[in-house]
Structure 1
């Protein structure tokens, strides 16, 4: 390994430059994306179905060679240098495909036989909350329990890098929260995690940084806060009896970027949430009125995701975009990428 590769491994456990993947018939599923993930970081890949998430992760896992660009995991090409990467990586696919007649314990033991330095079977099952299901056959597990078994196998080898493809699909609320706690604990212990998920709350809770994919390109990336900050906050309330929209402080002074009314209900969109909420409450106090049904909230990642996806689709319809995508949010922090 060269000095530059060693430095990259230390700073960026995963590094991708202009990555491309093309399937038979010329369909380009991954269209020149670049990203990097720092050691001990959780990075989430988001996108609608067909955006290129799984295609990208499979290239990072070394399951296929890229059609173009460069990918390094722990300083190595995960496809050409698979033997150097695989023992240090854990992979949780969307579906494990376990032998249905084996018990949970037998499945873990079988997998451990192919894993260097595997955890004890009991420890692996305890990590994912399957201790009480150890003697149950795989075919008798629920969908959520099978996902937990998938995760147990991915964690067997004490991985430095963990790839999680839709890790909480099929889990109930309690199981999902427990899995979030486990993933966060792994990150805190130094494991680097790259995950795909359709649960935007999951990305908002777990991810240090994220990228939103659209049509094989990165449409936006950054921390969850940076991505959501690009969207307006909201204030809604009912106008007091006898008052009208024009009686409020001038909307421009509240930083309001848009508004709508439905009957007596007013909804404001603002880029200055604290300023707008403070001015509105001071006005109500001076007027001696109550703002009923008052709701003040920042934009959610879901709102940002939907708007970015919509804008990316509109940009595609209007004409060609650059290889880095129609829109990229401002980014900061370690491992920032375009």
Structure 2
């Protein structure tokens, strides 16, 4: 395994009984990038992420995160990465700040309160720090969830369909957060079903289908797989999302 890649996967396989989910996945994720993994429901995206996060064991092949072998060094992998799943893993009874402090204390970090305050400021949640999370909007919960994942400064972050179920404004909030994380050097492996999400965020994109990566590259490289575009003059009508954001505003202010 090379240590120059944030994530390195070779020949990874996983089956459930007679059903093969991953049939030999090869993937290299450069450090400090947003890497989108596209695939339909059941394509194996979540299975792959769970293996990388040491929550599942692969049947075959190798995988490393931040230079640490997933099978041989699971503790080092967990120290180097964090996972945010499809649903925000926050305690609704606690306040936003209490959620962050709790994770800091569970990680045995010094000054958990100071870490919490810095993350609240970083994710524009300071004004809502003392409110119970049950009162938060979907976008605020997701931002808090990602903030909790960053306690301990993991260099690699797995985001498994992070905008599932979010409204357009909340989705834009998450997009902004992901872009900022990559700009600060965090490697983000993003699984998504939303093609526009990958277009907007990803430096590189891989398409998982039938248990294998069938295409990989930058958006420009993937576009070259298709025949040259023909020029047609059509009247562009606004989408419903364009209309919604124009009417309610798209500044992401939902506190």
Task: For structure 1, list consecutive stretches of 5 or more residues without a partner in the other structure.
Answer: 238-292, 296-338
Q: Please list, as runs of the form range in 1=range in 2, the aligned pairs for 1:141-220 lying within 5 A after superposition.
A: 141-220=136-215
Q: Tell me how far apart the structure 1 counterparts of residues 193 and 131 of structure 2 sit (CA, whole Å).
A: 29
Quote how far apart the aligned CAs of 1:139 are. Answer: 2.8
Higher relative contact order, structure no. (Cα contacts within 8 Å, ≥ 6 residues apart): 2
Q: Closer, same or farther in 2 for the Cα pair 1:210/1:187, shift >3 Å?
A: same
Q: Tell me how far apart the structure 2 counterparts of residues 69 and 222 of structure 1 sit (CA, whole Å).
A: 22
Aligned residue in 1 for 2:9: 16
Aligned residue in 1 for 2:241: none
Q: Please list, as runs of the form range in 1=range in 2, the aligned pairs for 1:242-253 lying within 5 A after superposition.
A: none
Structure 2 residue 228 is matched with structure 1 residue 235: no
Aligned residue in 2 for 1:243: none
Deviates more, 1:134-143 or 1:186-195: 134-143
Q: Tell me how far apart the structure 2 counterparts of residues 96 and 177 of structure 1 sit (CA, whole Å).
A: 16
TM-score with structure 2 length normalisation? 0.82
Deviates more, 1:41-50 or 1:87-96: 87-96
Tell whether the 8 Å contact from 2:87 to 2:162 is kept in structure 1 after alignment. Answer: no
Q: Tell me how far apart the structure 2 counterparts of residues 69 and 107 of structure 1 sit (CA, whole Å).
A: 37
Tell whether the 8 Å contact from 2:36 to 2:202 is kept in structure 1 after alignment. Answer: yes
Tell whether the 8 Å contact from 1:147 to 1:170 is kept in structure 2 after alignment. Answer: no
Task: For structure 2, list consecutive stretches of 5 or more residues without a partner in the other structure.
Answer: 237-255
Q: Tell me how far apart the structure 2 counterparts of residues 98 and 206 of structure 1 sit (CA, whole Å).
A: 25
For these two proteins, the number of residue pairs brought into alignment is 232
Where 1:84 maps in the other structure, the secondary structure is: helix
Quote how far apart the aligned CAs of 1:174 are. Answer: 3.8
Q: Tell me how far apart the structure 2 counterparts of residues 88 and 199 of structure 1 sit (CA, whole Å).
A: 27
Tell whether the 8 Å contact from 2:94 to 2:132 is kept in structure 1 after alignment. Answer: yes
Q: Tell me how far apart the structure 1 counterparts of residues 144 and 235 of structure 2 sit (CA, whole Å).
A: 45
Q: Which has more radius of gyration?
A: 1
Tell whether the 8 Å contact from 1:16 to 1:35 is kept in structure 2 after alignment. Answer: yes
Aligned residue in 2 for 1:53: 45
Quote how far apart the aligned CAs of 1:171 are. Answer: 3.6
Where 1:146 maps in the other structure, the secondary structure is: helix
Tell whether the 8 Å contact from 2:86 to 2:163 is kept in structure 1 after alignment. Answer: no
Structure 2 residue 117 is matched with structure 1 residue 125: no
Quote how far apart the aligned CAs of 1:31 are. Answer: 1.2
Q: Closer, same or farther in 2 for the Cα pair 1:97/1:160, shift >3 Å?
A: closer
Structure 2 residue 46 is matched with structure 1 residue 31: no
2:132 to 134, 137, 140: 137
Q: Tell me how far apart the structure 2 counterparts of residues 34 and 116 of structure 1 sit (CA, whole Å).
A: 36
1:62 to 54, 75, 83: 54
TM-score with structure 1 length normalisation? 0.63
